[in-house]
Amino acid sequence: MRIVGIVAAVLVGGVNVASSQVVLIDSNEPTVYAYCQQFQTLYVQIREQTIEPDSARAVFSGIMKGLQERFRNQETTVYDSVRIDSLMRNGAYFNFPLRGYSPRSIGGTHGEGYRGRGFDLFDYKVRGSHPAQDIFIYDRNQDNLDDNTKAPVDVLAMTSGVVIGIETGWLPGSEYRGGNWIWMYDPALHGLFYYAHNNVVAVTPGQWVQAGEKIAEIGRSGYNAYKARSGTHLHLMYLQIGPDGLPQPRNTYEWLLTARLTK
């Protein structure tokens, strides 16, 4: 594909090889937005079980490697594992994902709501794990509004990154568990954040979002989240992408404890 492009550029003439190569990379490689579209398509295929888990794994890995490469080309992003480790240990890197709330609102006493074992992103039939933290708001009448302020609660991006997929069409009665969700890719961590059960999604795929920016309003969308026994909460998951391009869930509890709070 790239060879065809080089031939075409040479035929146009008057362009030296070095500059034409730069142009070719921009025109022939998928854009970040194209990866977002691929991700969105894949995620729906997994949910609908129209793709085999092994095929899904391969497609996912390709998308993650492509995204990493795309952002690696931007000189502002420095990649090395030492830097990623120090970002993860630095509480100031993370923004608490609910405006007006704090770690006291995390489900369980010490974040034991996290159960990472048995998780498989690529097999919708696999259930039982909960590789996430649930963060609850005061909403006894379950109207998606904070009981004290009578206003919606903003979901904020934990870190800066690009929105790679959203769902906005969930309706009560739908069996889909995530409801109206958002997937974001953080190129500095090379990881994915998943924010589920939103009432309103305020971002679109391909959009760059700064840490602390509003991405949604909390809600009760999702098969179980909508049930009366469930308190209104944000379901927050983080997946670390490995060198093979595949995801591994990681507990965000320590990050949440030291994250910057937003009033």
Query: Where is 88: in which H helix or E strand?
Result: helix 81-89
Contact 69, 28 (CB under 8 A): no
The CB-nearest residue to Zn ion is 235
- The nearest distance, CB 142 to Zn ion, in angstroms, is 16
Using the rule CB under 5 A, give the single segment among 134-142, 147-155, 176-184, 199-207 that binds Zn ion: 134-142
Give 136 or 138: the residue with its C-beta nearer to Zn ion.
Answer: 136
Give 162 or 225: the residue with its C-beta nearer to Zn ion.
Answer: 225
Work out whether 70 is an interface residue with Zn ion (CB under 5 A).
Answer: no
Nearest to 226 by CA among 162, 167, 139, 157: 139
> What is the identity of the amino acid at 201?
V
Contacts of Zn ion in 114-133 (CB under 5 A)? 132
Give 98 or 132: the residue with its C-beta nearer to Zn ion.
Answer: 132
Work out whether 235 is an interface residue with Zn ion (CB under 5 A).
Answer: yes
Pull the structure tokens for residue 103.
Answer: 């770690």
Q: What are phi and psi of 247, to 5 degrees?
A: -90, 145
Give 45 or 129: the residue with its C-beta nearer to Zn ion.
Answer: 129
Residue corresponding to tokens 């909508």: 226
Contact 248, 202 (CB under 8 A): no
Kindly determine how many residues on this chain lie close enough to bind Zn ion according to the rule CB under 5 A: 3
- The nearest distance, CB 134 to Zn ion, in angstroms, is 4
Contact 198, 155 (CB under 8 A): yes
- The nearest distance, CB 190 to Zn ion, in angstroms, is 24
Alpha-carbon distance of 222 to 157, in angstroms, equals: 20
Q: Which of 66, 134, 144, 194 binds Zn ion (CB under 5 A)?
A: 134
Residues of this chain that interact with Zn ion (CB under 5 A) are 132, 134, 235
